[in-house]
Amino acid sequence: MRKAFTLIELLVVIAIIAILAAILFPVFAQAKAAAKKTQGLAQSKQIGTALQMYLNDNDDILPPYRFTANTPINPYYLKLKAANDPKAARYDTDGASTKNAYFINQMLDPYVKNDQIWISPGNSKGWVNFQDKGTWDAGFFSYGGQNSYGVNNYLLTAISPTSTTAPMSASSVAEVSNTLLMVDATYYNTLPAQRKGMAFCKINGYAPTGASYPHYWKHLGNNELNFNSLGNADPDDASNVSVFKNIESRFSGVLNVVKVDSSAKALQARKLVYDLRNDPVTSIWNPLKTACE
């Protein structure tokens, strides 16, 4: 009576299993990636819904992406400090600028009530309120409040006690269903690539004229902009091939966006980078849909 497989039979079985694994593993990986993208889109939609509730309670005025003061106002820091939580020491030693800032995710917190919404499933270095991943500049520990979504700098502004500008009204946005509010990113504010060989595109009173702002498209997706080594700002430059690879790695070439009307949609990452350059007037980044100044 036969009691065991022969060596040849075992090798055949092992070969079959290896072939099946080679076929199925990529399928499982694709299914996992699709599930993450769907979850990320759902989270983006919840952020959009929270924005609409914020607008209803604030006379249709869009929130700033950051409010800064002369004394500590960061609600997460104040909560830790009041509870004598040791984490507060990180703000005291490494987050001098963060303590005096109130970020958009914290402004929307009463309507979201779930910090995890701000951590994208496609961002392995995602954090919210307390930075436990990645690196930071001196004084900017936990800066931005979260690092999975960036707001449109042409739409939202930063406010301080000395500000001369005020947040715009949602009703003054020309096409709320075609204006980007927030997008998958690794920094809390972002921009598209600027026009090649031309002046900065000034929209809604804002012109990205600082040394780093032309590089802010590099915040998109999972790319992390190194402020100490900015590189070439032109997305067509060969040095930015790896940047695009990182951007597109968030959700296999697409990024989830939240629009001003609270809708959420997945769009091609490269299109978002080039959208302003291709047509500034109709660009999803342009809240006024008028020519650049």
Contact 273, 193 (CB under 8 A): yes
E strand segments, 93-232:
101-103, 149-152, 158-159, 180-184, 189-190
- pLDDT at position 22: 78
Structure tokens at 210: 């600082």
pLDDT mean over 4-31 = 74
> How is residue 116 annotated by DSSP?
G
How confident is the prediction for the chain on average, in pLDDT? 91
pTM of the predicted protein model: 0.88
Confidence of residue 38 (pLDDT cuts 50, 70, 90): confident
Helices 241-248 + 269-278 axis angle, to 10: 120
Q: Tell me: the pLDDT tens digits for 140-188?
A: 999 999 999 999 999 999 999 888 888 999 999 999 999 999 999 999 9
Distances (CA, A) of 79 to 108, 118, 129: 17, 19, 11
Secondary structure of residue 123 in the 3-state scheme = coil
Distance of alpha carbon 148 from alpha carbon 150, whole angstroms: 7
pLDDT mean over 114-120 = 95
Angle at alpha carbon of residue 224, lines to 74 and 86, rounded to 5°: 35
CB-based burial label for 252 (10 Å; 0-12, 13-18, 19+): middle
Distance of alpha carbon 253 from alpha carbon 200, whole angstroms: 27
Residue ranges of domains in the chain: 7-278
Smallest Cα–Cα separation from 268: which of 281, 279, 284, 290? 284
Distance of alpha carbon 138 from alpha carbon 186, whole angstroms: 18
Percent of the chain with pLDDT over 90: 76
